[in-house]
A = this chain, B = another copy of it.
């Protein structure tokens, strides 16, 4: 019943939705629910049922008609497909206000990650204990990456420092960067960058707000 993981054949947009399915499935596991339907799982994940079924079809053949999905085994399968069977060790660079919040994020271990190190350049922060980890100086970045086996770096530096840090992160052999600094990063093509920018998210909402207002004005004229 479990097929092979065909990683290269999964569309990027499907990969981006898998964490939502996994999150919903783990919520069901926590509530003791053993079976779910595509309609229920889709609603819990914030997508349509057809989208869910199509996405899961890229992973293999799941579910039994009239019975639905086995919650536990589907969760495990998606976790494996996402590569969460391996431990991913994370370092956060930039322990300002946002870096503090990211360090205190409680979901790392339950979602397959281990927060291994925190780094900053400021003497106000270096040496302090944040979320149970002593902040190290960013000058030691390469040593920390090697010592801790860091595979993912979260960048929460000011925009002006982000590129310089990213260049060092890449030189240290890290291939995965989650960038919270509000600027685009230039990295080699074999490095993955996911960018999260609060201002950009708000501007996208502003666009939809204006589009709605224009549509309503047009409907009334």
Contact = CB atoms under 8 A, between A and B. Distances in A.
A169 interface: no
B27 A13 contact: no
Contacts of A100: 97, 101
A20 interface: yes
Contacts of A124: none
A214 B183 contact: no
Interface string A135-155: 000000000000000011010
Contacts of A207: 6-7, 15, 18, 81-83
B208 A6 contact: yes
Contacts of A43: 184, 186
A102 B98 CA distance: 7
Contacts of A63: none
Interface residues of A, number: 74
A113 to B, nearest CB: 6
Interface in A17-63: 18-20, 22-24, 27, 43-46
A90 B214 contact: no
B209 A201 contact: no
Interface in A167-214: 175-178, 182-186, 190, 192-214
B83 A206 contact: yes
Contact of A151 (B104, B204, B209): B209
Given A13-B1, A82-B206, A176-B209, A194 B184 contact: no
16 contacts: A7-B215, A19-B200, A45-B184, A46-B186, A86-B210, A88-B202, A88-B209, A98-B105, A107-B182, A152-B206, A152-B209, A154-B202, A176-B208, A178-B202, A178-B205, A192-B205
Interface of A: 1, 6-8, 13, 15-16, 18-20, 22-24, 27, 43-46, 81-84, 86, 88, 90, 97-98, 100-102, 104-105, 107-108, 111-113, 151-152, 154, 175-178, 182-186, 190, 192-215
